[in-house]
Structures are given as C-alpha cells and as structure tokens.
Structure 1
Amino acid sequence: MSRRPRLLLTALAMAALLWLLFAAAERALALAQRFLDLPSWLQWTLGGVLLIFAAAGLAVLWWLLRPRRRRRPPPAPDRSSLEQRIGRLRDRGADTGALTAELGELDRRRASSRIYVALFGEISSGKSSLVRALAPHAQVASDVRGGTTRGVGHYDGKLPDGRTLVLADVPGSREAGGEAHETLAREEALRAHAVVYLCAGDLSRRQADELRWLADFGKPLLLVLNKSDQWSEAERDQLLERLRRHARGIASAVLAISAGGSERYQRQLADGRTESVERQRKPAIEPLLQALERLTASGAEGLEDLRENAVLAGLHQRTGTLEAQTRAEQAERIVRQYARRAIVGALAAVAPGSDLVIQGVLATGLTRALAELYGVKVSDVQIEDFVQQARLTLRTGSSIVLAVAGNALKAFPGLGTLGGGVLHAFAYALIFDSMGRALAASLAERQSLDQHDAGERLKELLADAGGTRLRQLATLTMDAVREGKA
C-alpha cells in the first residue's frame, strides 16, 4: 500500500476513535447527571455496588496480568523416612540398588564441595560443542549425527574468576528410542547445583514442558539460545523475547551465545568444481560465563540445600514408582494363588451348594489380602458387602462366564474334552482372576474399597476374551487337574 492511502486510513481511524471517545464521554455525563438526581440512599446503594464490581474487576485484571512468581521447589521428603521405605522395598525383594546408589552419590557430591552444572536440552542443540568451549582440554566425542551423547560425561571447566565447575554433558532429549537416555539426563539434572538449558531456536511444547519440570524442582536455571550467529540481530532479538516469555518466573536469565563447533559448507573452485569444506567456528560464550559466575556466586555450600531438595524429591517419585510396581507384582501373585485355590475347590466340590461356600470363603480371603497389601483398612461388613455384590454380578453374568470359558477350553486339546468338571473349574479360575485384578486396580487407584468401581471393572474383565490371560488360566487349570490325578 502506498503512502497516501495509509495516511488516509490512519486519519479515518483517528476520527473514529475521537468520535467514540466523545460519545462515551457524553454518555458518562448523562449517567452522572441521572445518578445525582437519585435519592441519597439510592446513590449510596448504587455507589457501593459499583465499587464492589470495580474492585472485583481490578482483582481479576491483576490476576491475569500479574508477573508469574518463581516456583517454589517441592517439599523434600524426610531422608530417614525415605530410607525406611527403601528398606521395606528391599525386604520385599525389590531391586533398590539404584535408589541406594543415588543416596550415596548425594553424600559424595556434598562432601566434594564442587559445583556441578548440567547442560540439558534436545539433541543437536550444541551441548558437546559448549563443553569444548567451557573446558577446552576435555576430550568430547561428537560427529555430524544428532544425539551423539549416549551417557553422562563430567568435565572440569573454569570461570573467569578462577573457580572450577564440573560440567555434566547429558544425553539429549527427543532421541529415537532414547527413553533410557532421557531418564539419565533428567536424573543428572536433579543431581546438579544448576542447569543450563540449551536450545537452538524457539521452544517447542515439549521443551517448554521440560523447562517447567526443572523449575518444579527449584533448579537454578539459565535458558541459553545457542548458534545465535545463524540469525540477524533483529531475528535474534525476536527469538530472545519469545524465550523470555517462556521462561518468565522460571529461568534466572535468558541469553544468546555461539558455542562454536564445526560446520560444513560447499566451496566453489576456480575450475568450476565444488568441494565440501569443514571449518571450526569461534565460540562466543562470554554472556554465559558471566551468568554462571552470578548464579554460582554463593558456592557449592550455598546451593547445596536446593540440590539436596531436588534429589530427595526425585527419589521420592522413583521410590513411589517402585512401590507401585512391587505391589502390582505381589497382587499378581495373590490373585494367581487364589485362582488356583478356586480351581482346586471347584474340582473338590461334590456336595450340592458346597462350591458356593468355597466361593464365599475364598472371595473374603482374597479381598482381605489385597486390602492389606495396599494398606486400605476395611471392615468385615465392607468385605461382606463387596462379596455379596460380586456374587450378584456373577449370577447375572454366569452365561457370559461359561461362554468365555467354554470357548477358551476348545482352543486347548485335551482340556475341552474333560467334561463339565473342568469347565466348572476353569470358570472359577476366570471368576477369581477377574475379581482379584478388578479389586487390585481399584484399590491402587482409589486407595479405598470402592464397591461400584471394583464391580464395573469386574464386569469388563469377565467379558474380556483376551487370549493371553485365558491361555494362562487354562494352563493353570490343566496343571491343577494333572496334580489332582497324580
């Protein structure tokens, strides 16, 4: 658009704005005059209501526009209670070696009084090049492929004031099949006193989530835009502004550097041919060095409390995950044990109605064992109510149970021809396996005996004709039949 049309549109917009302002002012004066004509008691009433609405509006506006507070680190669990939980897991046969080693590493780093800084970010963001720039004498493996760091490497680097830092080069996130490497990177980031989050452009949603995850643990954090020499000054300023919006209330500083490294380009020769040339770019990391000096000015002792808090909070999560896995494995063993008892009971039941007695006793024992495993206190009345509800579910869905059991047995030569007793035993195995799995899943999620939730899960499992589970139950039934004949 040429200059004259732009000036015309600007003049029209200004005229429209002035007209709106005059109209609003006129309307406000008319309302004020009408307000003054009202009785005094009504003036006070309306004035009070308007003040309340104005205060509420200002409060909402402040809530929307206020600067984000720096996140507080999650409260660290008590170390002694954490050690007790790890000990209980060890007694249950769980592999707690990694958790114990983490506590040992926490103590070792505290005793060393050295400052650890983790370089964190996606693959190909230039972490290895930055290590070479910060620690020129370090031997850092790197090539043109993305994601060359496969483990955690530690290198000694120096700040301009002479202090030594231990730089942790961690595997990059977003590696193909690199979930284990990403776990290594996150654990090392929690062990460090501070984190340099490196990016090579605007943050993706995944990167923003990683940044918030680090902030949730209270890590002193620098957000660093690497390879800044690839953009013009205006483009670099725009990128930094977007990064500052992402890191508001999270990072201590947002800055741009160039870690150097090698680059390849095509060079035109005099005879018309081209050749591929590799050259080293000179690093420009002075802003990062200055920021690291400020961030670590208090020394390892001043940063140790935050580091220990992050490590213990991470250990709390890992211990909880292992506890859940261990409980799930124990619940699986309990369910399998009661399913086998149900098979034996069904094969041994000869008197009319005796199978119902066996069913009630086993269901009560199964419920009590699983509730004790998940630390849920249940009364005898609750157990009885749940068993009665389960019986009602089984009565209404007995045709489904028998159909699933019959179809499953046909797939196993020998079992399908052994008669109704085996079918009856297999149906019992299916019933108690479904009941136990439903109850265990409900107790793990709800931390209480929710009869409705467990009942719904039971119905779904009874109707599930999945091959793997039925094959396992058929094998369990066959083993019980063979042992009974032996």
Structure 2
Amino acid sequence: MSSRLRLLLAAVGLLALAWLLLAALDRALALAQRFMGLPTGMRWLVGGVLLLVALAGAGLGVWWLRPRKPRTPVVAPDRASLEARIERLREADTDVEELRKELGELDRRRESDRTYLAVFGEISTGKSTLIAALVPGASPERDARGGTTRDVVTYETSAWDAPWTVADVPGSSEADGETRERLAREEALRAHAVIYVCAGDLTRTQGDELRWLGDFGKPLLLAVNKADQWTPDELARILSRVREQAGGVPDAVLAISAGGEERFTRRLPDGSTEDVTRRRAANVQPLLDALRQLLAPGSAALEAQRQNAVLAGLHERTGERERAWRGVEAERIVRRYARRAVVGAMAAVAPGSDLVIQGALATGMVRALAALHDVRVTDVEIDNLLRQVRMTLRTGTSVALAVAGNALKAFPGLGTLGGGVLHAFAYALIFDSFGRALAATLAERRTLDQEDAGERMRELLGEAGASRLRHLAELTGEALRDR
C-alpha cells in the first residue's frame, strides 16, 4: 500500500471518528434537555435509576479487572494416611503393587540427589529431537510416524556440575494412547521440573495439560518449538498469543528450535526428482538459560514440591482404586441383601406395600453401604430414609408388580410357581433398586441424602432393563432353590 493511500485512509478514519463523537454529543445534549423538562419527581426517579445502573456497571468493571488469584497447587495428604489407605485396599484383595512401587520410587529419587527433568507435550511437537539437543550423545528413537516414544526413556547427563536425568515421555493426544498418556503424566509428576513443548498456538487440550501441571505446582517452562519456520514478526505474534493462552501458568514461555532432520523432494533441472534429507540447526540456548535460573536452588530445595506432586498424584490414583473397590463391594452387598429379601418375601402379604417385614434387612443394608463409604448415619436418619422409601413404594407397587410379572414371562420355570414367586421377584427388584440408588447417592454426595436416593430409586424401579431383570430373575431362582 502506498503512503498516499495510507494517509487518505487515516484521514477518512479520523473524520468518521469525529462525526461519531459529534453525533454522540448531540444525542447526549438532546437527552439532557428532555431530562430537564421532566417533572421534579420523575427527574429524581430517572436519575436514581441511572445512578444505580452506573454504579452496577462500575462494580462489574472493577470485578472484571480485579487481579486474578493465582491457582493454588494441589495439596497432598500426609504420607501416613495415604499408606494406610493403600494398606486397606491391599487387605481387601485389591491390586496396589503399582501404588506401592510409586512410593518406593519416590524414596529412591529423593536419596539419589539427582535433578529430574521431564519433557512433556503432544505427539509430533519435537520432544525427542529436543532431548537430543539438550543431552549430548542421546539418541532417542525417531520415526516418520507420530507418537514414536512408546515408553518413558531416560537419559543421564551432567550439567552445571550436577547429575541430571532427563525423561522423554510418550506424547499426549495420540489415538488409543490412554495408557501411554498416563505414563507420561505420572513421570511428569515425578520430575523436579517439566518442559512442555508445543509447536505453535495452544490447543484446548494443551491448555488443559498446562493447567493440570500448574495445579500440581510443578516448576514449568513452555517451549514453543520450530521457531525457525516463522519470520520475526510472526514469531512475536505467536509468542504473545501463547503467553495469553497459557494464562500465567508456566514460569517462562520461550521460542526454540530443536533442530533435527527434515525431508523434502527436490526437482532437478532434467525434470527428475530426488528425496533430500538435511539437518536443521538447533537453538536451545534460551531454554538452557531459563532452566539454569529455574533450577538454581538445586534438587534438595525442590524436593518438597516434587514429593507434594507425587503424593497428590498418588492420592488421585488411590481414590480411583477406592471408588472401583467400593463399586464392586456395593454390588456384593446389594446382591446379598436382595437374596435375603427374596427368602423373606414368601411371608409378605403384599410386596412393596410396606417394609415392616423386611425392615431389619433394609436397615442392615443401609448401615453396610454407609460403612462402606465411610458415612456416619444415625437411627433417625435411617428411619426417615425408610419412611420415604415406603412412601415411594405406595405409589410404585403396581409398577414393581407389573415389571415383575412381565419379567417372569421370560422364565416359564419360575412363572408357573405362582404368586409367591411374583412377590419374591418384586422384593428382589425393590431391594436392588433401593440398594443401587443408595450406593450411588453415598458415593457421589458422601452423605445420606434421602431425597436424592428416593429419586434415583423411582427411576430404577421404572426403567429396569432386560439384562438387569434377567439378573434379578436368576437371583430369585437361586435364592428360592437354596431355601
């Protein structure tokens, strides 16, 4: 664009802006004149409303522009309580060997007095190539396919008169790579510091990974790789956007060139083509300078942060094991009490009309499920819950009987035994629905929420699937045969 054309456009823009300002001023004067012409009482009313709107707008602006509180790191439980939980899972025949090995690795690294660094990021961003530039003599596996790092590979080196271990972890966002991604996250938590590698603007997944690392309080550098592919102006804009997208989580955002090889096809003067491979120059000095500053305190000073991150990660993984174990154990408890209810149902006059006959079983199931989820319950809470269940069953008895009758049609051997089997199956359905609803409420809310449990029970009574009905029919038959 020529200088004259730019000057003309600037003049047109200034004139348009001046016209808009004059139009706004004219409109404001007209509104002020109309306002002054209002009766006194109306002026006070309109003025008060405008003042409230102005104050609300100012308050919103102050709230929007207020300094954001930094994200607080995840605080890990103390090691003794974590070991007690792991031991409890081991006593329940749950596989916890992986968790115990993690504690052993935590101790081993603390005693080694080495600095551990993890290079983390999505596939095909140049992590392995960066390792080769950081660690002289390292030869990570390279391949034309994305996601070539299949396991955690470590390289030992010495820099700045200190022993170092650099870990090359599998890349995230790989198709069907959930297991390798889990390995990468676990190794990132074990490290004293993390280099997160990207190759341009951050995706939503990359932003989530950065915030996850930040929540664990990891010393973190964000390296924007392949900087040699952009012009200086393009690189400046990319770094500005990445810093904004990162939201202040990394300790520093740097542009680097990891180097490596590039392949392309060149057309020769005679019309033929040839495949050419050439080395790209690496420039990782900004990253090395930032690492030197970030890790200047030494591994001993950073050990507390590292241990907190590892124990916090173990806390999450132990929680996953506990939830899985409780789910299996809750199924077992509900099945046991449903079988007992089937046997007791043969003495019931009208299944579902009351839980007086089955009251002791219902109370026992509530206590067993509450103890499983470490929720304390009182006799009053149990009585209130069972009272609501009875109210639910007064309106749901016909539904339970209809479901039971239709289900037994698929089992001629049971269906021909008469109304007693129908009552028994209805009680199996009631106890199974009640137990499942209560277990789900206790697991999610960590309290005995009778309204939530009642709502879940109504849904389970009315939406019993074919596989669940078959399971209950088999349970009913087994219980009656044992009886």
TM-score range, shorter chain: 0.7 to 0.9
TM-score by length of 1: 0.87
Which stretch of the first structure deviates more once superposed, 13-22 or 387-396? Answer: 13-22
Residue matched to 1:295 = 294
Uncovered stretches (5+) of structure 1, i.e. residues with no partner? 32-45
- 1:95 corresponds to which residue? 95
Pair 1:370 & 2:369 matched: yes
Tell me which residue corresponds to 1:328.
327
Q: Distance in 1 between matches of 2:138 and 2:447?
A: 55
User: What is the CA-CA distance between 1:280 and the residue it aligns to?
Assistant: 2.8
CA contact (8 A) 1:208 1:246 kept: yes
Aligned CA distance change for structure 1 residues 339 and 204 (closer, same or farther; 3 Å):
same
User: Relative to structure 1, is the Cα distance of residues 271 and 434 closer, same or farther in structure 2, using a 3 angstrom cutoff?
Assistant: same
Q: TM-score, normalised by structure 2?
A: 0.88
The Cα of 1:458 is off from its aligned counterpart by: 0.4
Report how far residue 351 of structure 1 moved: 7.6
SS across alignment from 1:427: helix
The DSSP-based 3-state class of the residue aligned with 2:358 is helix
Quick check: 2:355–2:390 contact (8 Å CA) kept in 1?
no
Distance 2:158 2:233 in 1: 32
In structure 2, the residue matched to 1:247 is 246
Q: Which residue of 2 aligns with 1:198?
A: 197
Task: State the match for 2:145 in structure 1.
Answer: 145
Distance 1:24 1:355, change over 3 A: closer
Q: Report the alpha carbon displacement of residue 272 of structure 1 after superposing the two structures with TM.
A: 1.7
Q: Structure 1 residues 59, 395: CA separation in 2 closer, same or farther (over 3 Å shift)?
A: closer
Q: Specify whether residues 282 and 448 from structure 1 end up closer, same or farther in structure 2 by C-alpha distance, changes over 3 A only.
A: same
231-240 vs 81-90, which moves further: 81-90
1:72 corresponds in structure 2 to 72
Task: From the superposition, tell whether residues 418 and 23 of structure 1 become closer, same or farther in structure 2 (CA, over 3 Å).
Answer: closer
Change (3 A) 1:454 1:120: same
Aligned-partner residue type, residue 143 of structure 2:
D
Tell me by how many angstroms 1:254 deviates: 0.8
Q: How does 1:142-221 map to 2 (within 5 A)?
A: 142-159=142-159, 161-221=160-220
Letter in 1 for 2:98: A
Q: Aligned partner of 1:188: which letter?
A: E
Cα deviation digits, residues 302-357 of structure 1 (max 9, x gap): 1111111111111222222222222222111110100110112224x278999954
1:426 partner SS: helix
Cα distance in 1 for partners of 2:97, 2:198 equals 34
Query: What's 1:36 paired with?
Result: none
Q: 1:367–1:383: 8 Å Cα contact kept in structure 2?
A: yes
Tell me, yes or no, if the aligned pair for 1:68 and 1:248 is still in contact at 8 Å: no
Q: How large is the RMSD of aligned CA atoms in angstroms?
A: 3.1
Alignment of 1:61-460 (within 5 A): 61=61, 63-65=63-65, 68=68, 70-159=70-159, 161-347=160-346, 349=347, 357-460=356-459
Larger mean Cα displacement after TM superposition, 6-15 or 174-183: 6-15
Q: 1:239 to 1:421 in 2, by over 3 A?
A: same
The CA distance in 1 between the partners of 2:269 and 2:349, in whole Å, is 103
Instruction: Quote the Cα distance in structure 1 between the aligned partners of 2:201 and 2:370.
Output: 50
Q: Which runs of 5+ in 2 are unaligned?
A: 33-46
Q: Please identify, of 429-438 and 322-331, the stretch whose mean Cα deviation from structure 2 is larger.
A: 322-331
Q: CA deviation at 1:177?
A: 1.1
C-alpha spacing 1:63/1:302, structure 2 compared with 1 (3 Å): farther
* Counterpart in the other structure of 1:35: none
Q: Distance in 2 between matches of 1:442 and 1:342?
A: 22
Identity between Structure 1 and Structure 2 (%): 61
> Relative to structure 1, is the Cα distance of residues 92 and 18 closer, same or farther in structure 2, using a 3 angstrom cutoff?
same
- Residues 420-429 or 217-226, more deviating: 420-429
Distance in 1 between residues matched to 2:416 and 2:20, nearest whole Å? 90
Cα displacement (A) at 1:274? 1.3
Q: Bigger shift: 15-24 or 291-300?
A: 15-24
Work out the CA distance in 2 between the residues paired with 1:109 and 1:126.
27
Return the letter of the residue paired with 2:71.
R
- Distance between the aligned counterparts of 1:68 and 1:263, measured in 2? 43
Give aligned pairs, total.
466
Q: Do the aligned partners of residues 352 and 114 (structure 1) sit closer, same or farther apart at CA in structure 2, a change above 3 Å counting?
A: closer
Per mean C-alpha deviation after superposition, the further-off stretch among 313-322 and 287-296 is 313-322
Q: CA deviation at 1:137?
A: 2.0
Pair 59,194 (structure 1): closer, same or farther in 2 beyond 3 Å: farther
Query: What is the CA–CA distance in structure 1 between the aligned matches of 2:450 and 2:218, rounded to whole Å?
Result: 43
Question: Given the superposition, is the C-alpha separation of residues 284 and 350 from structure 1 closer, same or farther in structure 2, using an over 3 Å criterion?
Answer: closer
Alpha-carbon distance in 1 for matches of 2:244, 2:66: 13
